Amino acid sequence: MTAVLVLEDGMVYKGESFGARVRQVGEVVFNTGMTGYQEVLTDPSYTGQVVTMTYPLVGNYGINREDAESGRPQVRGFVVRECCDHPSNWRSLGSLHEYLAQHGIPGLAGIDTRSLVRRLRTAGTMRGVLSTLPGDGERVEDLLALARSFQPTGPDLVRSVTTSTPYRLPGDGPRVVVMDFGIKRNILNMLSAKGFDLVVVPCTATAAEIMALSPCGLFLSNGPGDPKDVPEAVAVVRQLTGRVPVFGICLGHQLIALGLGADTYKLKFGHRGANHPVMDLATKKVYITSQNHGYAVDGATLPAGVAVTHINLNDRTVEGLAHRTLSLMSVQYHPEAMPGPQDSRYLFDRFEEMIKTAC
């Protein structure tokens, strides 16, 4: 069965279909991870995107219960060089094809993913349509018009993945309020491992609603899209900075920067993968990190009281912030993802120390 990917610049990739027989439009991006495809598929930060894997063979260890970062796949479509039909792993409960078909996600295989990734690196991420419907390979003009009409960002992205109502994950330690912009399960696991009494609230929660929960700390999660599409969260940062310790990851990092008065900007093709080198400027240690974001903090716009704590060694972008006098810090990458090494756990230790000092 054939499938087609049409980019907004008119480029067409035709190959083999897997997953669901549907048509989806999204922002076409790439991920450089060699493993972790199930975490990629289920990460809410990929909402609204068609993800291309640079590693050529995907699906070889199947799908399991343990590796999902949310309750279902969040991507709009999935593009690979080769999709494994017969996975082999003791945890596997089914194939990648079966998993995507079950959840209505189209897949495209058998194309030169190197060509597609080089095109995205040269021109930047693009809007595109991935279709596995019969006959769509001959309707390129219609698909091109659909791709060009797509809006890849907006406030609805975060609101589609945030929790609808607050919920609690009980712990014996201090209470931490978690703002959910599309949080990954392993972030909650890492916070729970610290013994925190977690209350997870929607992205629309106000500062007053958060303080009514008597928090000893505030955590801002990862999530999809442009941080400027979530102004209510920026207002929360402004109102609560200095009142409780604050820690943010990924989108939470960008929202903290905006709340402090800095600016953010869209990267050409983003950082998505499990092998990005990041330096902690205080220790000069370099960490191999997992990343998934299309926006970055403009370091030149940071106010005097805020220090850059981490930088990306590939392009020198800002990867971490800390306030010089207040209990506030953030990182752009995902310390909970642990792509092999587990040495970024220290960031959760720092958050714990901030809370112990404040409470």
Residues designated catalytic: 250, 334, 336
d(CA 83, CA 17): 10
| 168: alpha, beta or left? (left if phi > 0; alpha if psi -120 to 50) | beta
Take residue 251 and report the two structure tokens written for it. Answer: 């989108």
Sequence letter at residue 62: G
CB 3 within 8 A of CB 17: yes
82-83 and 57-58 strand pairing: parallel
Between the alpha carbon of residue 7 and those of residues 136, 208, 336, the distances in Å are 14, 44, 33
Q: What letter does residue 13 receive in the DSSP assignment?
A: E
Sequence letter at residue 223: G
Q: What distance, in Å, lies between the first and last C-alpha atoms of the chain? A: 60
d(CA 11, CA 13): 7
d(CA 41, CA 69): 8
Angle at 278 between CA 276 and CA 284, to 5 degrees: 150
